[in-house]
């Protein structure tokens, strides 16, 4: 059985002091919780202090993004080596806000996936369709392209180290979550595609998370489905009670 994974994406929210407060409270609240992996992705400026707070706890640290070169003249960018240096074990890659607002491509996602695996950082690769693509019947084709280019050229040893997050763009930050049936359909498609087209072994339990307006009211309904291995949570991860409730609903009883 795969351990569920819940990731809190704090996006561009929280100054250092409230970020540290929230991290401390999470450490306290989750001290006795087991059976779920919990990761938080604060903004870059809070990674180091938050990393210090959570380092002896069960929480792990993630970056929200990075550049795929190790160092050099890339003004304004952050290297994955820098994220690792401050304690990150995971990084989001290809979040739809990066793709839609900052023009990130599937080819760039692929470079980042390889770089992350080389450095021993777990890549959380985000895929998902826009509302226009869904309405045009292009959901599966969109995800297929994102997977085939984004995950190209991984070796058999590298494949199990991935996490995939299915995040329909129309559900992110809108308050409208995908239904469990919609999520299950896409997760099954992704799993089949990984095995049949990308050569993943069936035994490899790549975790596929759902993200898009997950909150404490809908998390149980979504996370009790065996096809849904966890959640990538934006807005609701900024609230201690909501995030803890979501984490609790991910634990298999
Ligand atoms: C996200 O940031 O990946 C996300 C799913 O946001 P929200 O939960 O706010 O929709």
Number of CB atoms found within 10 A of residue 185's CB: 15
73-103: pLDDT as tens digits: 999 999 999 999 999 999 999 999 999 999 9
Cα–ligand 1 centroid distance for 172 (angstroms)? 5
The string of DSSP codes covering 90-112 is: EEEES-HHHHHHH---HHHHHHH
What would the pLDDT profile of 190-235 be if each residue is shown by its tens digit?
999 999 989 888 777 799 999 999 999 999 999 999 999 999 999 9
pTM: 0.97
Helix (H) or strand (E) holding 26: helix 16-29
- The span from the CA of 151 to the CA of 162, in Å, is 9
How far, in Å, are 57, 69, 151 from residue 144 at the CA level?
37, 26, 10
Asked if 10 and 41 touch (Cβ cutoff 8 Å), the reply is yes
Classify each residue of 104-133 as buried b or exposed e, where b means 16 or more C-beta atoms within 10 Å of its C-beta: bebebbbebbbbbbebebbbbbbbbbbeeb
Please write the tens of the pLDDT for every residue from 113-135.
Answer: 999 999 999 999 999 999 999 99
For residues 68, 74, 77, 82, the Cα torsion angle rounded to the nearest 10 degrees is: 70
Which residues line ligand 1 at a C-beta cut-off of 6 Å?
9, 11, 95, 167, 172-173, 211-214, 232-236
Angle at CA of residue 176, ends 140 and 225, nearest 5°: 65
DSSP 172: T
Q: Say whether pLDDT at 253 is over 70.
A: no
Identify the domain containing residue 216 by its residue range. 5-251
Ligand 1, from 97, 174, 212: best to mutate by most atoms within 8 Å of Cβ? 212
Cα-to-centroid distance, 156 and ligand 1 (Å): 31
Domain with residue 161: its CATH number is 3.20.20.70
Residue 212 alpha carbon to ligand 1 centre in Å: 5
The number of distinct structural domains making up the chain is: 1
Taking only the tens place, the pLDDT of each residue in 160-184 is 899 999 999 999 999 999 999 999 9
Residue 21 has pLDDT above 80, yes or no: yes
Range 39-62 average pLDDT: 97
């Amino acid at each position: 059985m795969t351990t569920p994974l819940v990731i809190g994406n704090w996006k561009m929210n929280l100054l250092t002091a409230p970020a540290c407060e929230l991290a401390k409270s999470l450490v306290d609240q989750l001290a006795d919780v087991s059976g779920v992996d919990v990761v938080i992705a604060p903004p870059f400026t809070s990674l180091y202090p938050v990393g210090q707070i959570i380092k002896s706890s069960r929480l792990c640290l993630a970056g929200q993004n990075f550049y795929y070169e190790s160092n050099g003249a890339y003004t304004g960018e952050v290297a994955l080596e820098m994220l690792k240096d401050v304690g990150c074990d995971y990084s989001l890659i290809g979040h739809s806000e990066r793709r839609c607002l900052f023009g990130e491509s599937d080819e760039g996602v692929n470079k980042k996936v390889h770089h992350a695996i080389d450095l021993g950082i777990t890549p959380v690769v985000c895929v998902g369709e826009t509302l226009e693509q869904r309405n045009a019947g292009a959901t599966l084709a969109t995800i297929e392209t994102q997977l085939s280019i984004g995950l190209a050229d991984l070796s058999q040893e590298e494949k199990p180290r991935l996490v995939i997050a299915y995040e329909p763009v129309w559900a992110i930050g809108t308050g409208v979550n995908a239904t469990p049936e919609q999520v299950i359909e896409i997760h099954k498609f992704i799993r089949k595609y990984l095995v049949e087209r990308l050569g993943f072994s069936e035994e490899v339990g790549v975790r596929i998370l759902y993200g898009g307006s997950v909150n404490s009211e809908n998390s149980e309904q979504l996370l009790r489905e065996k096809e849904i291995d966890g959640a990538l949570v934006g807005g609701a991860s900024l609230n201690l009670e909501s995030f803890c409730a979501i984490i609790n609903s991910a634990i298999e009883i």
